[in-house]
Chain A
Amino acid sequence: MNTRTLIPGIKNASSEPAKGEQRCPGAPSTQDIVASDKVRAPGWVRSESYQFLGDQDISKDRYIDPAFARLEMDTLWKKTWQFACREEHIPEVGDYHVYDIGRFSFIVTRVAPTEIRAYYNACLHRGTKLRASGTEGNTDEFKCSFHGWSWKLDGSHQETVCHWDFPHVDPKDFSLPQARVERLGGFVFINMDLSAPTLAEYLGPEIKAHFDAWKLENRYIYLHVAKRLPCNWKLAIEAFMEAYHVIETHPQVAVSNGDANSQYDVYGEHVNRFISPLGVLSPHLYGKHTEEDILKQFTLGDSGALGGGERSLGKNGSARQVMADMFRGMFEKATNTDLSGVSDSELLDCYSYTVFPNTFLFPGISLPMVYRFRPDPSDHRKCLYEVLFMRPVPVDGSRPMPAEPIRLRDDQSFCEAAGMDAGFGAILDQDTDNLVLQQEGLEASAKPGITLGNYQEIRVRHFELAIEKYVKPKA
């Protein structure tokens, strides 16, 4: 069913399309492309949920003003659900994973086979972190390395060293403070706001149903790359929210990417997505390339690591169908599974979902990433970007350990990360190069805000509206 919605009453008298209603002229829609596929896409692909959300400029202050970054830390980061780790980071009771956001730090730990908690990572004596940032381990107590105060796995206070000197410390009042924890699709989310809506309410029923369909709990992290980016965290996020930039920034991709006819959707306040069809020519390049060119220049993404076969168009074949069939065979072989019922679109297309504020999920098969962006607490012009590639768990049911993060230096190419597909690494480098210029350009600009397209940049506006909601709550 088409769930496309438009705000009524904004059509003008001259019968021109309402704002946000225009689509790339002369090109099939993403839904048209998907509907022509041999193996039918699931319902969560065959739906639309666009909404026009205004066309005012967005103030540039929010990207360049350190005071805005401080405000974000005191407001939105304390009230939103954030992806802290995957369940496979802490598979056993006593396993823990330290998640930091800004100046905040949490020990996310499995206290029982089916219970995970997140403790504020600070000793209640004089404040020392109980575990160093960015670490994992296993323990049956959290003991401070300074004076030895300790807490049991369940967060209750275990020992005050020289208790005789602390008659004013009642262990009952010294349990480790907690953030809320919820799990979905193998992801562990935390929220500092004890009165926040549940994660299901935060996502909304439609997106919860998408999550349930993806079964991402049956995947594991096989590659994890982290790099500091030279820009405000929101600029980095917004660079990945649209395919509008593909033709100029990633011309090598455009030959096999329906960029200008990608589909954009918004869901409630916290989730948006695009579907960017692959194996089809960019509308910018109509008439300039053949189906053979599309096939030849298809960017393999993760599947490059699996090794591709010979590409041949055959008689009356389309590049999109040839690639779908080829991917099906490659992934069936690599994972020893039957993918005959998996749609061509799921095998090929780029599905990019954002869970506000800082997580991207790509539930497709050839591009199976998770992105996470976090502000650098010491510099609003920097942020930490992580890309995690996920694959189905082996058919024997074993769960490989999640890959260790490869931490690139600022000056390194993404292509230098062992295991990174060269084509994909080059794309990320192109994005990074833009971002330093954008950060500097916004600071140099005489224009007070950024201007957005009504359709192709709707995710940016939707994201910025959510920023506003948390940073400037209504009185």
Chain B
Amino acid sequence: MNPHKLAFTRVLPASELPPNAKKPLSIEGKAILLCNVNGQLHAISNVCSHNDKPLERGRLGNGWIACPTHGARFDLATGNALCLPATKPIATYEVRVVEDWIEVLV
């Protein structure tokens, strides 16, 4: 087993991601978007599976994000596409808070 695959990366003080905020990050070369929906944290790929556009300006809803370019929506927990024009999921990453820091498993 590759131990790096199990290593969480400390990325941001939790206080810098208040409810309903987003934060684009690059972690190990991957474009990641951190989202806080009513206190629930999510880490997802920042790239829309439909057209490769960034999701970071997308609207956060109750458990979803909508790509601002063509309106594809994704489930923040599973990454599944919820509507056309996307049909493929986006990657999601495990996220946790340790000692008031947000950590992501990439």
* Contact partner, B83, options A132, A139, A401, Cβ 8 Å: A132
Q: Shortest Cβ distance from B80 into chain A, in angstroms? A: 14
CB–CB A135/B59 < 8 A: no
List which A58-113 residues lie within 8 A (CB) of chain B.
Answer: 92, 95
Which of B24-32, B66-74, B93-101 lies at the interface?
A: B66-74
- A138 at the A/B interface (Cβ < 8 Å)? yes
* Contact partner, A404, options B62, B70, B72, Cβ 8 Å: B62
Classify the interface of chain A: helix, strand, loop or mixed.
Answer: loop
List which A397-451 residues lie within 8 A (CB) of chain B.
Answer: 401-404
B 50-69 to A, binary, CB cutoff 8 A, 1 in contact else 0:
11000001110111101111
CB-CB under 8 A from A144, the residues of chain B are 70
CB-CB under 8 A from B38, the residues of chain A are 401
A 103-140 to B, binary, CB cutoff 8 A, 1 in contact else 0:
00000000000000000000000000011101111111
CB–CB A145/B70 < 8 A: yes
A 266-308 to B, binary, CB cutoff 8 A, 1 in contact else 0:
0000000000000000000000000000000000000000000
- A143 at the A/B interface (Cβ < 8 Å)? yes
Cα distance A140–B66 when bound, in Å? 13
> Can you name the residue of chain B whose Cβ is closest to the Cβ of A144?
B70
Find the residue from A135, A403, A404 having the highest chain B CB count within 10 A: A135
Q: Shortest Cβ distance from B43 into chain A, in angstroms? A: 20
CB–CB A137/B66 < 8 A: yes
* Interface residues on chain A, size class: 10 to 19
Cα distance A143–B67 when bound, in Å? 11
CB-CB under 8 A from B73, the residues of chain A are 135-137
A138-B68 contact, Cβ under 8 Å, with A401-B38, A404-B63: yes
CB-CB under 8 A from B85, the residues of chain A are 132, 145
Q: Shortest Cβ distance from A98 into chain B, in angstroms? A: 8
CB-CB under 8 A from A139, the residues of chain B are 68-69, 71
- B7 at the A/B interface (Cβ < 8 Å)? no
CB–CB B50/A135 < 8 A: no
List which A138-154 residues lie within 8 A (CB) of chain B.
Answer: 138-140, 143-145
Q: Shortest Cβ distance from A75 into chain B, in angstroms? A: 30
* Contact partner, B62, options A131, A132, A135, A401, Cβ 8 Å: A401
CB–CB A136/B66 < 8 A: yes
Cα distance A131–B71 when bound, in Å? 6
CB-CB under 8 A from B84, the residues of chain A are 132, 145
CB–CB B68/A145 < 8 A: no
CB-CB under 8 A from B50, the residues of chain A are 145
Cα distance A340–B64 when bound, in Å? 40
Which residues of B line the A interface, CB within 8 A?
A: 38, 50-51, 57-59, 61-64, 66-73, 82-85
Rank and list the top 10 A-B pairs by shortest CB-CB distance, nearest first. Answer: A137-B66, A138-B59, A132-B83, A145-B70, A145-B85, A131-B71, A132-B84, A404-B62, A139-B68, A137-B59
